[in-house]
Amino acid sequence: LNRTNDDINFILNHRIKSLVPQSNFSQYRYLMHMPGSATGSYSRNLQYLWSHGSIIFIWKHTASEWYYQHLRDGVHYVSVDQNTIYPLLLSLQVNPHLQLKMRRGSKVFARNYLSGRTLTNRWSAILSILAERQAQDIPKINKDIACTCDTELLSQNAIPKCQKCEITKKRGRAVAKFVGLIPKSS
């Protein structure tokens, strides 16, 4: 790798922003997707990055989303790790044709797989398949072991009411006592 400590320090101190509001992402040529989530939950960060017209770097990881099978390294994004990021960044910086190709590829990918219409059509297809597989008759419920907090079924006396159903009527401290967060004696 043709990098020096001065090059690395320059990049780290002057070219990389540790925290950028999403509203400012479009101001950057390159955006990096790192695995994980800052909040500990699912993140649509990668899906959001393609909407900015930037070249997307994806840090190599093992996670997978439904659309990953359609992604092409070098067309829609650049796959990087600690050994490849610097040379790949340099090769992009000196090749405007490749930069344009990557931006166009990202835009096409976002339109074909992540647009609102595409996502709506995907969910519609999935839910249609599930609907077709569901039985058309009323489900058989074993009343001896079943319990529900569904007020409509309870009002029809279709299912016996159990102690757990009481939680649907409780509020505040009563819920905390019921689930054992507060001793019942307080």
pTM over 0.75: no
Q: What's the CA gap between 93 and 114, in Å, rounded?
A: 27
pLDDT confidence of residue 78: 95
> What confidence tens digit (pLDDT) does each residue in 7-44 have?
767 766 766 666 777 788 888 888 888 876 555 445 57
> What confidence tens digit (pLDDT) does each residue in 60-79 have?
988 888 889 999 999 999 99
The encoded tokens of residue 131 equal: 């609907």
pLDDT confidence of residue 41: 47
The chain-wide mean pLDDT, for the chain, equals 78
pLDDT confidence of residue 109: 92
State whether residue 161 is helix, strand or coil: coil
Residue from 35, 51, 54, 55 nearest 43 by CA: 35
Specify the pairing of strand 55-59 against strand 78-80: parallel
In this structure, what DSSP letter does residue 164 have?
G
Residue from 138, 141, 119, 122 nearest 130 by CA: 122
Is 90 exceeded by the pLDDT of residue 161? no
Q: What is the DSSP string of 108-156?
A: HHIIIIISHHHHHHHHHHHHHHHHHHS-SSPPP--TTT-----HHHHHT
Residues 6+ apart with CB under 8 A from 153: 159
Query: What letter represents residue 7's amino acid?
Result: D
Higher-pLDDT residue of 59 and 17 is: 59
Q: How many CB atoms lie within 10 A of CB 57?
A: 20
Higher-pLDDT residue of 122 and 72 is: 72
